[in-house]
Structure 1
């Protein structure tokens, strides 16, 4: 069977993508072939496309998560059979294609209650939320948490999951429409508008103390605002730079005793045991309704348009590619 594959010729803009017809080989030892039903997109894909996180060689195939049906099983695989519903996320990237061979240990069976589209839109983000809320900083009842881009794909999952842990959530959003979505996810307080005085608003909402932990995927000069919104001996976590490169942070900003952390879900997932722990936690969370809203769907061939929308920040929720 001939499939579509999206190649990235070199680091750069959306014009570096090209589509090719490609026949997926039979799976090798320890591998399965998955016929993709839905492919998730993440800001990580933009970093890979631009070369902020360069690929080992070019042309390359990017994309870090997808869900579908097991189409073939390679030698030595006993945990899957044809027809199983599965999803995967994390390294090695290469999901922008109709079908893919992948190591069986990287695939996770999906329960009947979780659709392929839900899994593809929420698995990597759910794994990231698990890492951030339970491993990077152990969020628990009574904590105050600041979540930037609270209506986004990751942000909405972080809001829902933090609320399930009985934390008080302060979210930032860019518009009243996104505020409504973040509120529907359970955010207790919302700071609306890109020009808002985040630090003052956070201090007002926490009686001058600041939050226990701030999750910042915005980057640019927002990280310094996040750090200044954290209480003494709290933590600011930088998880992206959607707004641009993060300028140097003076060490004096860490007084008195604030922590600054820069975790990587891809590094976490390089260990198979940690990967499966996070993936199973994310799927369990999906079964309870902790999912990302699907903001838009594009055909796989329209990947350039999907990247344009993702970068624009117009979409609330996750963007899917459908083969």
Structure 2
């Protein structure tokens, strides 16, 4: 019988329940995917705790990679045996096998293993929309990437460098600083020992950066604004340290007519053609070796609770996968 992690209440990692499930045949428009690997992401923590409330009981998990085992009526783009990967809703990736709308699936190139595919989709597509859509990085831009040694950070740093940007990354430890340097950062700032906004000004000769990509949230938000050049773009795409407090918009004018946005992957990939285009760009840079996906931790899927504990304790670097 297939198994999945289920949520019956919001709370700590202990609410993640490993259960036997019944899986029906795929409905019209769906495909059945047997996972080779499942991705772990910080948004999973938000779903588990209720920061992003779910209708309970619920599955959890937003990305995976595997093989199509069956297709429902009306599915024409996929066949049984296709290698696929996905990121985004509906939730339920923490499972051996699942049904999912076929239009959310992308064919995974043969040269990309399932472990890499599962680790790269949510973080990689996030980096793709951040760098290519939200603020389109240009050669010569100076960019600041908060949490540069995290999953999105390591991908975004490599990709931004490949695009010709000067990449400044922040980290919380010397070990993570070395990791960031090895993955595209020209300059690394340890925000636990340095004033990162001040260092950004020094690195950019007082100008500031064109864009800040900030997935940390509360702890770095004010400094991120202070790191921008006039008319720079503040991209707040996550809140690992807690939600950003309310903002007085007059600050944006006082600090140089700044722009600010709080984007989500779901909006940028709502249309099938946009998902396919971003996925193609991601696969291209990975296959070309311009972006290397660091799968630094793996856990058995049934041990997802421990994976969540380690993620929240910031004991992980790069990407983490769960293995059915």
TM over 0.5: yes
Which consecutive unaligned segments of at least 5 residues does structure 1 have? none
Q: Counterparts of 2:192 and 2:8 in 1: how far apart (Å)? A: 34
Q: Take 2:119 and 2:286, find their aligned partners in 1: how far apart are those partners?
A: 11
1:53-84 residue CA offsets vs partner (Å, 9 max, x unmatched): 111x1011111100001111222223222221
Hey, what's the Cα distance between the residues in 1 that align with 2:177 and 2:262?
A: 27
Instruction: Measure the CA separation in 1 of the matches of 2:25 and 2:292.
Output: 33
Deviation at 1:48, TM superposition (A): 0.8
1:143 touches 1:211 (CA, 8 Å); kept in 2? Answer: yes
3-state SS, counterpart of residue 23 of structure 1:
coil
Q: Is the 8 A contact 1:224 1:249 kept in 2?
A: no
Contact 1:123/1:283, CA 8 A, preserved across alignment: no
Aligned CA-pair RMSD = 1.2
Q: Corresponding residue for 1:262?
A: 262
Distance 1:102 1:190 in 2: 40
Q: Which residue of 2 aligns with 1:237?
A: 235
1:76 is matched with 74
| Aligned-pair CA distance for 1:268 | 2.1
CA distance in 1, matches of 2:279, 2:11: 31
CA distance in 2: counterparts of 1:318 and 1:119, whole angstroms:
11
Moved more, 157-166 or 288-297: 288-297
Q: How much has 1:147 moved relative to structure 2?
A: 0.3
Once the 2 structures are TM-superposed, how far is the Cα of residue 90 of structure 1 from its aligned partner?
Answer: 1.0
* Distance in 1 (alpha carbons) for counterparts of 2:191 and 2:102: 44
Separation in 1, partners of 2:68, 2:163 = 35
How far apart, in 1, do the equivalents of 2:60 and 2:288 lie?
A: 30
Aligned with 2:126: secondary structure? helix
**Residue matched to 2:287:** 287
C-alpha distance in 2 between matches for 1:224 and 1:249: 10
Structure 2 length as normaliser, TM-score?
A: 0.96
Distance 1:272 1:91 in 2: 13
Instruction: Please give the alpha-carbon distance, in whole angstroms, between the structure 2 residues aligned to 1:84 and 1:238.
Output: 36
Q: Which residue of 2 aligns with 1:271?
A: 271
1:63 aligned residue (55, 61, 64):
61
Q: How does 1:25-174 map to 2 (within 5 A)?
A: 25-55=24-54, 57-174=55-172
Matched pairs, number: 321
Q: 1:3 to 1:42 in 2, by over 3 A?
A: same
Q: Distance in 2 between matches of 1:92 and 1:286?
A: 25
Q: Could you tell me the TM-score, scaled by structure 1's length?
A: 0.96
